[in-house]
Structure 1
Amino acid sequence: MNFYGLKNCDTCRIAMKELDAAGIAYAYIDVRADGVPAGTLSGWIDQMGADKLVNRRSTTWRNLTEAEKASAEDNAKLLSLLQANPTLIKRPVIEQGAGIYVGWQEYVQSRNF
């Protein structure tokens, strides 16, 4: 399982703590420090779409220009936007097999990882 997040993200810390307590192994990838490969991001965009993937409540989103925000509606431009601003990605993103889970809501927590 791959766990994409940020070290200073409270939700990511809670999720990692719960996964650790359950004895679930995962590879941690820091989206800011390590980045997310373009192919991986493209797959997320195709499977999840901008609505589920982009954190529109983040400080990063609020600091974007209106033109940059509008580009989030075009998948090709969204890829560039997320590569340039990885903190726009809702966190955590968990990849397990063919499944991609965004956030740490109850439906994600109830998964049998």
Structure 2
Amino acid sequence: MITLYGIKNCDTCKKARQALEQNRIEHRFHDLRADGLAPELLQRFIDGLGWEKLLNKSSTSWRQLSPEQQADLTREKAARLMLETPTLIKRPILDTGSALHIGFKAGHYDSLNLTEATG
């Protein structure tokens, strides 16, 4: 089953959910804030996408971090920050079961042949 990870009130996540629903793509939505973020899931995201791509440095959450928190980033430090504050994760993350895709742009999901992933 396809899973879309994000945050319920995020506009980009809303657009992604709407695109999946309009195309009748069966999926489940996992709210990273309400449903939680397990360390194993975050590790899977980091392994599949890279922590640099996953960490959203243009987010409000990032700007609210202290300079010390933002400095000297490593994979481990970034993972710790994302576990503590899931809104630091760029979203949405689409998990097709065989691949992870980050972000949303109109038409992108159409190119992924998602109907085959739900079949």
- TM-score under structure 1 length normalisation: 0.90
Compare 80-89 and 38-47 and name the one that shifted more.
Answer: 38-47
Amino acid at match of 2:71: A
The residue aligned with 1:83 is 83
Amino acid at match of 1:6: I
CA RMSD of aligned residues (A): 1.5
Work out the number of aligned pairs and report it: 112
Tell which structure's C-alpha radius of gyration is larger. Answer: 2
**Uncovered stretches (5+) of structure 1, i.e. residues with no partner:** none
Deviation at 1:27, TM superposition (A): 1.1
Percent of residue pairs bearing the same amino acid type: 38
Aligned residues of 1:92 and 1:103 also touching (Cα < 8 A): yes
Matches within 5 A, 1:13-92: 13-70=14-71, 73-92=73-92
Deviation at 1:82, TM superposition (A): 0.6
Amino acid at match of 1:99: A
Deviations 1:35-72 (A, max 9, x none): 1211110121122112211111111000101221135x
- TM-score under structure 2 length normalisation: 0.86
Structure 1's consecutive aligned runs of 4 or more residues displaced over 6 angstroms after TM superposition are: none
The residue aligned with 1:7 is 8
